[in-house]
Chains A and B, each alone.
Chain A
Amino acid sequence: MTDYDVIVIGGGSTGTAVARDCALRGLKTLLLERDDIASATVGTCAGMISSGFKYYDEPDIMDMCSQEVVYFRRIARHIIMKDPILMPFSELEELTRGGEASSFTDEYAKRAKERGVPPVMFLSPEQSLSIEPSLNPDMAACLYYEEYFIDPFRLCLLQAIDAKQHGATIKTYCEVTGIEATKPAKRVTFYNRATRQVECADGKLIVNAGGPWAGKVAAMAGAPLDLRLNKGAHVILDRRIVNVGISSKAADGRWIYLYPHENTTLLGTTALDTWEDPDVIVASHDEIEYLLKSMEWVVPSIRQARIIRTMEGVRPLVPEWKRSEDKVTRGYRIIDHEKDGVDGLISFTGGKLVMCRHMAEAVTNLVSKKLGRETVCRTHLDSLPGNGADVDVLALAAEYGLSQHAVERLRARRGTETSAVLALTKEHPEWKSTICTCEPVIEAELRYAIRNEFPQTIGDLRRRVRLGTGPCQGTFCTFKAAAVLAEELDLSGEQYQLEMIDFLAERWKGKRPPMRGGQLGQEELTQGLYACVANLDHTDLPYELKPWEEAA
């Protein structure tokens, strides 16, 4: 007897997409995630679902990406947004060198209409400055194109919830510690961090979507898996400091960008090969200054912006070595470890957020074949939860007496679910109170998320509702959210206090590396609340050091 057809290891963009596809095809599926959904690499990415514009030297990939964008617009349009992007050039010849321009503009134009974007345009400095006045006027021209961005946290969560609604079992805080490739079933042993118990499950096949940990996961089954791990940093600015995205060449000639993202702006990214444990990596001073220095050439006022934090992620690239990171394929590989004598284990290397659905389709095809099941993929056709009719934000704001901004932000996360969240306030009008003022997030959404989206910590709530991601970085919402969580999950007095300390520690991880400017006063305020008044710096609570704290 096996419990499951498929056991998916990893709850990032890849793993949740795989679980969704398997569940939609009627396979009995279990997803095991060591932490929370979208807690690793995918949560540190820019969320760009690129048309593949940058990968013009890999036409197949460009083609795949632009097709995926079309699908995302079909299945998840409520959580995506479009940003125009300007790419300034200092010399005209840069634009035409080696016929590059024509090849990528042609590729880009292929599905432009289906993607709902105009073809690439060339803008004069005057035209460019009228769109984005903060640009350095010293330019020859700008390339103009449009790209889509998705909320990576919501995408993963919605994929997981959709999988669940189609019969999959989703277990977060369950870390796989062993894989026994016995026949016919494979036994997966895992440590459940919530219950502090070791548990196990049997499955016919195992899909390893462990991202940068995929090598470690494969090794548990005795299978070799090489990955090229490459870390990248983002510097996050406190608001949308530019009207449009900007793409430009960095100090070393690589491409970097400045993207308005949700209520913030992302400056990224670096690309450095790494052999460090992904759990302990934080952005370095060099990475931060590299990004600022590089962007300063095109946006001279960049240093006046307030930096609120950094984030650092590790890309699990295809193991192509002895070439620079940007020459490594952006594609993915599916490795059936049968060839290594480990039957029933399938791993990924490479890939991107934008490809997660495609990766899932390919692996589920292979899974079906191996299981001898005839299945049809529907992930590009069926909506993710909340993707439905238009939501009338203005009418809802008026009906509930809430600000239009608050309702629009709610809509951008929840689409058609917005009404269900707001309906909670009919019985509890006090739940219209704003818990996170930066984003903003109202109490009703927190309660809704806690009841329907299986968060266990305030950090999990952050991924679900963007709590604590704004300029104050949790100073004014941590204690309010902890109290609501404690009430809903019936946490003990100790757990309630630890929740606050844990979340502040997680925020501090990203706040600390770039500490400067306005954030110094902000941090004094945070210390004022949680140390000076609440005295949480002097507790005998059983706080467990975080991996990056232990490593320091």
Chain B
Amino acid sequence: MDIETDLVVIGGGMAGLVAGSVAAEAGLDVVLLRKGHGATAQSSGAIDIIGYVPGATAYLMNPVEGLHALSAMCPFHPYSALGRSQEGVPSDPGRVVSRVHSSVQWLKDKSSGSCGALKGDLEENIQAVSLLGTSKPTCLIQETMWNDTPPSHDSVILFAGLRGLPDFNPSSAVKAFMANRPYGEEGPRKAVSCILDVSSSGKPFNLSQIEIAQFVDHDAGLSALANSIGGQVLKTGADYVAVPPILGVERARENRRQLEEMTGATVFELTAFPPSVPGLRLQTSLEAVFRKADGRLLAGHEATEVRQAGDLVQVIAARAPRRTIEIRSTAVVLASGKFLAGGLVGDERGVRESLMGLPIVDSDLIPTGDSRPQRLTGVIPLSPEGHPLFGVGLAFDSSFHPVAADGSPIAQNLFAAGSVLAGYNYAVEKSGLGVALATGFAAGANAAAYVKGVQ
């Protein structure tokens, strides 16, 4: 055996890193295997708790209300499982809210002061405006995206693009923004756009958000950006400046403060598509939390096999570019993500969990492993109902053990968290990082309790 440990976490996104950190903080020896980046690093970095009750068209002003509704209406939702103290009892909404609240509070505390520092409150959804000028309800956003006072009726908001950054077209975004009015009727009546000239290399095309953000982390980049924004603020009279998330990778918060001082306007970041800087900041800050708790992160390591004896999983084999290792562990958390990260795979015969072939169910707990993926999709690509395909995953119990068809745990020491779980469609609900956080938090704590119990 190459490594012996208390807990192996498979997956290094939000769910795996939170589970691993919580367990390590509880005193466990934790090894985390991460094949690569999953959805967490690709995300916009805004942490959705719950934006829409499944199928609803009106968004939730208050996530707490949403958690209550889910607890009553969607018994198989991962959030609802948090409300059960044992199997077979109804989900207690108060318990759901308090457990989600603890995980949110934990994350806010842990990331405070870091590049991924968060603002927001479980009792209120905010509208995060995207690069397209659309918006979505979300709960926690990074400090550089946050406005203490949102733009009001008299504000002038300037959408500032960067020459050579094709991700963002401010003039089209302004049109959508004015059509959508994400800040409501009280929101700004005037939105304008401009293009800033800020290039690190002098190359005026094919710039990425990340290369600009890295440039802004240097003094030269920051002052170029400040001059450019400052000029436009004078010209347009803007008091809010919406920029793509390029305010920095490591120094974003400090950069923002300086920019605001230098330009006299409120400068904030829009949410963006991958590869987005806030997604990277979130991933980096979660990894820092895990390392700080003395967790061991084995990047580039893909779990290839989990060996089980009786009702316990025991050995995890993993492959890295230049070696293969075997790890004996007292417990395992599976947080391998959905299709994008490779936790689930599918072909014309059906959908499978990729590592152990665990049973797959849909949001109603109906076994769907043998359903052709196409059958789990609807004819319209984007709708509030979403595609059932993205609600499939592992069946699990209230301790976040993956379970067999009869509801019994696959193994006493195997837990699962995050988007590998069935029961919710994060894209339409707006609940992705929130579910990963809350279930990772719960699975990590349960794994720690289990390990301590057997030691």
Contact = CB atoms under 8 A, between A and B. Distances in A.
A533 B340 contact: no
Given A433-B206, A516-B348, A521-B340, A528 B173 contact: no
Nearest to A434: B206
A516 B204 contact: no
A328 interface: no
Interface stretch (A13-21, A341-349, A481-489): A481-489
Given A505-B381, A520-B339, A520-B345, A493 B39 contact: no
Given A431-B205, A533-B136, A525 B59 contact: no
A56 interface: no
A432 interface: yes
Interface in B166-203: 166-167, 169, 171-180
Given A537-B382, A549-B379, A517 B176 contact: no
B274 A529 contact: yes
A501 B382 contact: yes
Contacts of A492: 175, 179
Interface string A232-243: 000000000000
Contacts of A443: 166
B151 interface: no
Interface residues of A, number: 63
A527 B166 CA distance: 20
A536 to B, nearest CB: 5
Interface string A415-436: 0000000000100011111110
Contacts of A534: 130, 132, 134, 136, 273
Interface in B132-177: 132-136, 163-167, 169, 171-177
Contacts of B135: 535
A380 interface: no
Contacts of B59: 538
Given A530-B382, A535-B135, A429 B169 contact: no
Given A524-B338, A525-B42, A479 B273 contact: yes
A429 B175 contact: no
Nearest to B178: A493
Interface string A74-96: 00000000000000000000000
Contacts of B39: 524, 528
Interface stretch (A23-31, A139-147, A450-458, A507-515): A507-515
Contact of B132 (A435, A479, A515, A552): A479
A532 B172 CA distance: 20
Contacts of A523: 339, 387, 389
B176 A480 contact: no
Contact of B339 (A491, A521, A535): A521
Given A484-B169, A513-B374, A534-B130, A497 B379 contact: no
B441 interface: no
A507 B174 CA distance: 26
A285 B382 contact: no
A523 B351 CA distance: 14
B125 interface: no
Given A285-B374, A504-B382, A531-B382, A430 B164 contact: yes
Interface in B332-356: 338-342, 344-348, 351
Contacts, number: 192
A448 interface: no
Interface stretch (B297-305, B312-320, B425-433): B425-433
Q: Which of the listed residues B131, B165, B273, B432 has the most CB atoms from chain A within 10 Å of its own CB?
A: B273
Given A479-B132, A480-B167, A532 B381 contact: no
B390 interface: yes
Interface residues of B, number: 70
Given A524-B339, A535-B134, A548 B384 contact: no
A527 to B, nearest CB: 4
A526 B390 CA distance: 12
A430 B204 contact: yes
Given A433-B164, A433-B206, A513-B374, A524 B274 contact: no
Max chain B C-beta neighbours (<10 A), residue from A483, A494, A500 = A483
B430 A532 contact: yes
A285 B373 CA distance: 11
B279 to A, nearest CB: 10
A537 B377 contact: no
A496 interface: yes
Nearest to B207: A433
B270 to A, nearest CB: 10
A238 to B, nearest CB: 15
A289 interface: yes
B347 to A, nearest CB: 5
Contacts of B340: 521, 524-525, 528
B240 interface: no
A492 to B, nearest CB: 6
Interface in B354-381: 372-374, 377, 379-381
A487 B169 contact: yes
B44 interface: yes
B388 to A, nearest CB: 12
Contact of A516 (B173, B373, B430): B373
B61 to A, nearest CB: 14
Nearest to A288: B348
A398 to B, nearest CB: 16
Nearest to A402: B205
B271 interface: yes
Contacts of A528: 39, 42-43, 274, 340, 427
Contact of B347 (A500, A501, A516, A524): A516
B176 A493 contact: yes
Contact of A520 (B204, B346, B386): B346
Most interface-central of B163, B179, B351 (chain A CB within 10 A)? B179
Given A285-B372, A486-B175, A520-B345, A535 B136 contact: yes
A538 B386 CA distance: 10
Nearest to A529: B273
Contacts of A540: 57
Given A524-B390, A527-B390, A530-B382, A430 B163 contact: yes
Interface of A: 285, 288-289, 303, 425, 429-435, 443, 476, 479-480, 482-484, 486-487, 491-494, 496-497, 500-501, 504-505, 507-508, 512-517, 520-521, 523-540, 545, 548-549, 552
Nearest 9 CB-CB pairings of A with B:
A493-B179, A483-B169, A493-B175, A535-B136, A508-B381, A483-B172, A531-B427, A433-B166, A432-B205
Given A515-B374, A527-B427, A532-B48, 5 more contacts: A434-B166, A480-B166, A493-B179, A496-B175, A521-B339
17 contacts: A289-B348, A431-B205, A483-B169, A483-B171, A486-B175, A493-B177, A507-B381, A521-B338, A523-B387, A528-B43, A528-B427, A532-B136, A532-B430, A533-B46, A536-B382, A537-B386, A538-B428
